[in-house]
Amino acid sequence: MRRFLPLLLIATAALAQSRGRAVMPPTPAGANTVSGTVSSISGSTIFIANGLISIDTTSAKFVGDDVTLGAFVTAALKSGDVAPNAPLAATVIMVAHIPQATLSGTVTSVDIVANKFTLLGRTINVTPETSFSGLLTLRRMTLADVFPSMLVAVEANVAGGALTARSVEVLTPLRIAPTRFTGFVKSIGPTQWPVGLGPAGSLAPDFLVAVDANTKIIGDPKVGDRVNVVGELTSTGFTALSITKVP
């Protein structure tokens, strides 16, 4: 994704998106510009206003996001007269994506296996294209870094009749950074699961993982299955927040 660079002042109307995305300041007096939502693309020609306006991008420099259907573009045009209904030759094109919905609030549940979470009573789907950001900046964040009770901001579009996250930003840190590890289920009890760091028969040590009514069991793991365990160290031992079967 191309990032915004302050190359020149463009845009008929101010369009700003928070958290480091493109910001379009007012246009210099006398400059020719056109802006709108991309309705179709044909080669180096962008169409807006349902095809009534065409923009020739052959010699244009792009700033901001990639051009896709539904993106909002603002083009600085070459000076001079234009023949009736001819494509408008652009010199610079700023691109920004305006989400169909933005939501912020506290996460109520997370389903890593199904790639979705619940926010404000709505199910938000996550895809490989979903970007995650926040306080965990030393490594790439994923849905596995999102937990119930976290405050997040989501930009979402509709795909297949469902809300799909374009970006998820974690606004608050974890109350306690959880401990996580991957192991193999040795047995399943009502209050404890022994989980080994190696499969059955290996010399790897086992950990006793306490489970309670708040532990989320995801993917229906059985004895011998490989699982991701997320939990907290307490005065009584290690208590699992979630145990997820590795597909």
**Same structural domain, 73 and 129:** no
Domain boundary pick from 151, 170, 189: 170
**Same structural domain, 108 and 82:** no
**pLDDT of 116:** 93
Domain boundary pick from 68, 96, 124: 96
Q: Is pTM beyond 0.85 here?
A: no
Q: Find the CATH number of the domain harbouring 239.
A: 2.40.50.320
**Same structural domain, 86 and 135:** no
Q: What's the pLDDT band for 243 if we cut at 50, 70, 90?
A: very high
**Same structural domain, 92 and 116:** no
**Same structural domain, 235 and 183:** yes
- Assess if residue 225 is contained within a domain: yes
**Same structural domain, 217 and 147:** no
**Same structural domain, 67 and 90:** yes
**pLDDT of 242:** 92
**Same structural domain, 114 and 90:** no
**Same structural domain, 133 and 105:** yes
- Assess if residue 7 is contained within a domain: no
Q: What's the pLDDT band for 45 if we cut at 50, 70, 90?
A: very high
Region 73-100: mean pLDDT is 90
pLDDT per position as a tens digit, 186-240: 999 999 999 987 776 666 667 889 999 989 999 999 999 999 998 886 656 788 9
- Assess if residue 212 is contained within a domain: yes
Q: Residue 7: pLDDT above 70?
A: no
- Assess if residue 3 is contained within a domain: no
Q: Find the CATH number of the domain harbouring 77.
A: 2.40.50
Q: What's the pLDDT band for 139 if we cut at 50, 70, 90?
A: low
- Assess if residue 33 is contained within a domain: yes
Q: What's the pLDDT band for 98 if we cut at 50, 70, 90?
A: confident
Least confident interval from 45-49, 163-167, 174-178: 174-178
The three-state DSSP-derived secondary structure of the chain is: CCCCCCCCCCCCCCEECCCCCCEECCCCCCCCEEEEEEEEEECCEEEEHHHCEEEECCCCEEEECCCCCCCEEEEEECCCCCCCCCCEEEEEEEEECCCCEEEEEEEEEEECCCCEEEECCEEEECCCCCEEECCCCCCCCCHHHCCCCCEEEEEEEEECCEEEEEEEEECCCCCCCCEEEEEEECCCCCCEEEEECCCCCCCCCEEEEECCCCCEEECCCCCCCEEEEEEEEECCEEEEEEEEECC
- Assess if residue 128 is contained within a domain: yes
**Same structural domain, 90 and 118:** no
Domain boundary pick from 146, 170, 194: 170
pLDDT: is 243 or 233 the higher one? 243
Q: Rounded mean pLDDT of the chain?
A: 81
**pLDDT of 156:** 92
Q: What are phi and psi of 112, to 5 degrees?
A: -70, -40
- Assess if residue 84 is contained within a domain: yes
**Same structural domain, 60 and 132:** no
**pLDDT of 82:** 86
**Same structural domain, 116 and 162:** yes
Q: Residue 14: pLDDT above 90?
A: no
- Assess if residue 1 is contained within a domain: no
**pLDDT of 91:** 93
Q: Please tell me the total count of domains within the chain.
A: 3
User: Which range marks the domain in which residue 30 is found?
Assistant: 15-96
